[in-house]
Amino acid sequence: MRGMTAAYTSELAEALSADVLDRLLRYVRIDTQSDRAYPESPSTAGQLELGRLLVEELHGLGLADAALDANGFVTATLPGNVDGAPVIGLLAHLDTSPDESGANVEPLVHRGYDGGVIALPRRDTVLDPARMPELTSKVGHDLVTTSGDTLLGADDKAGVAEIMAAVAYLAAHPELPRATVRVGFTPDEEIGEGAKVFDIEAFGAACAYTLDGSELGEFTDETFTAASADLVIHGVDVHPGFATGKLVSAARLAGRVLAALPAELTPEATSEREGFIHVYSVAATAGKATIRTIVRDFDDELLGQHVALLRRIAEEVVATEPRARLEVDVKEQYPNMRRFLDAHPGVSQAALEAIRREGIEPVRVPVRGGTDGSILSSRGLPTPNLFTGGHEYHSVREWASVHDMASAAAVAVRLTGVWAERAG
């Protein structure tokens, strides 16, 4: 059944929609899944393949300096046409999540969504509006889904496609006043590596925007502050037949540590601005147990308290057995971008203005996660995050609205116009 067709948020969005869709379908066919096991940048060769394709396409659009560097970063410049306007960056990441397969992605386009359940051909995967409330607002939209057994890769190839379509449109419309745009496509966002080695100075932008969010109109200038905390418990392993009075089981001590962690401080029991301790991996033998956790909060002080609590619980449990030994390894992962963006209020204001000019009421949401912008903002490049129109990331149910992707591309076009007005 073919439903009705929904309106685009603007004529600009409508004009961009075919190109955005075309690009998404092309980019998701390249497997760019990143891999935590490889410390090189990029972590996988597929990211270079997509990078090469994008450089070729950027050259085709007239961005002569488009280049792919050895670390897998694609950069290019679309010169502005207003003297004195600041240089702004548009960023999206090339890689897809290691959580589900990103190989042999076969995207499906569903025209004029009718509001019902979408059954995908493989693995009995179903998109049910009863469980995905965002779907209910997409009646009449054109949707893109997987075939049911892979990621779609709209995270973040929707962002890549939107930036490419926006740049193509701007290049073809030199009469529109625009700031100089630096395009950046980055590797290994999903494994938290890309932004750490991004050359901010060479990029040369006053501020940047990642297109890596989700629902139409969402804007993020606040993320979690994040740390990892690994606990290693060393026991004393002895043949169980000769163990009387000698064996100290690290596995049992680990179990007691886990049982003592507060149940209300988990990802599943918290929401909105509440933080958590998430145990994501436990490996234990009698001789040695390793508990890996991530700790999150929007408030740096509360984050410190969660880490201290975890440490104290582990120390108290392990102290009950003098022959056992505990190691605790805490690492900062990324900071809440808010405190860095507060110093540059114009960066968020410009984004909110561009969203409004597209006829959309912006929704400011603190993200219970991080973006490349968390690290980039702390390294001196203020980088909040814009929506892309993609949903259910990191799963085989991933989908994107073509209508909303077109709106995101239109917001990117308008953003260059907002900054052109700020020539000084």
Q: Extract the runs of DSSP E, i.e. beta strands, from 169-309.
A: 181-186, 207-211, 218-220, 225-234, 276-284, 288-297
90 vs 317 by CB, closer to Zn ion: 90
Q: Which of 76, 100, 95 lies closest to 189 in space, CA to CA?
A: 95
Q: With CB under 5 A as the contact rule, which of the stretches 155-163, 240-248, 290-298, 383-391 interacts with Zn ion?
A: 155-163
188 vs 212 by CB, closer to Zn ion: 212
Of 19, 100, 162, 212, which one interacts with Zn ion (CB under 5 A)? 212
**Cα→Cα distances 179→74, 207, 380, 412, 415, Å:** 20, 12, 20, 11, 9
Work out how close the CB of 96 gets to Zn ion at its nearest, in angstroms, rounded to a whole number. 8
Number of residues that bind Zn ion (CB under 5 A): 3
Rounded to the nearest 10°, the torsion over CA 122, 123, 124, 126 is -80
Q: With CB under 5 A as the contact rule, which of the stretches 204-212, 253-261, 319-327, 378-386 interacts with Zn ion?
A: 204-212
- In b/e form, how buried is each residue of 102-123, taking b as 16+ CB within 10 angstroms? beebebbebeebeeeebebeee
Sign of CA dihedral 256, 257, 261, 263: negative
Is 19 tagged catalytic? no
| Residue pointed to by tokens 């963006």 | 341
19 vs 95 by CB, closer to Zn ion: 95
Work out how close the CB of 371 gets to Zn ion at its nearest, in angstroms, rounded to a whole number. 7
Is 100 tagged catalytic? no
Of 31, 142, 155, 372, which one interacts with Zn ion (CB under 5 A)? 155
32 vs 125 by CB, closer to Zn ion: 32
Q: With CB under 5 A as the contact rule, which of the stretches 41-49, 67-75, 152-160, 345-353 interacts with Zn ion?
A: 152-160
How far is 129 from 117, CA to CA, in rounded Å? Answer: 6
158 vs 418 by CB, closer to Zn ion: 158
220 vs 249 by CB, closer to Zn ion: 220
Q: Which two tokens stand for residue 401?
A: 């609205």
**Cα→Cα distances 384→195, 361, 419, Å:** 13, 17, 15
What is the H or E stretch that residue 46 is in? helix 45-60
Residues forming beta bridges with residue 93, ordered by sequence position = 186
Work out how close the CB of 175 gets to Zn ion at its nearest, in angstroms, rounded to a whole number. 33
Q: With CB under 5 A as the contact rule, which of the stretches 34-42, 147-155, 241-249, 408-416 interacts with Zn ion?
A: 147-155
Of 19, 95, 156, 297, which one interacts with Zn ion (CB under 5 A)? 156
Catalytic residue among 57, 95, 142, 221: 95
218 binds Zn ion (CB under 5 A): no
Contact 108, 144 (CB under 8 A): yes
Burial class of residue 134, CB neighbours in 10 A (0-12, 13-18, 19+): middle
Work out how close the CB of 396 gets to Zn ion at its nearest, in angstroms, rounded to a whole number. 17
The values of phi and psi at residue 345, to 5°, are: -60, -25
Q: Which two tokens stand for residue 289?
A: 């147990």
Catalytic residue among 31, 155, 189, 193: 189
Work out how close the CB of 189 gets to Zn ion at its nearest, in angstroms, rounded to a whole number. 6
Work out how close the CB of 93 gets to Zn ion at its nearest, in angstroms, rounded to a whole number. 6
Chain positions 307 to 336 lying near Zn ion, rule: CB under 5 A, are: none
Work out how close the CB of 184 gets to Zn ion at its nearest, in angstroms, rounded to a whole number. 14
Q: With CB under 5 A as the contact rule, which of the stretches 68-76, 156-164, 249-257, 278-286 interacts with Zn ion?
A: 156-164
CB atoms within 10 A of CB 364: 14
**Site of interaction with Zn ion (CB under 5 A):** 155-156, 212
Q: Which residues are known catalytic residues?
A: 95, 189
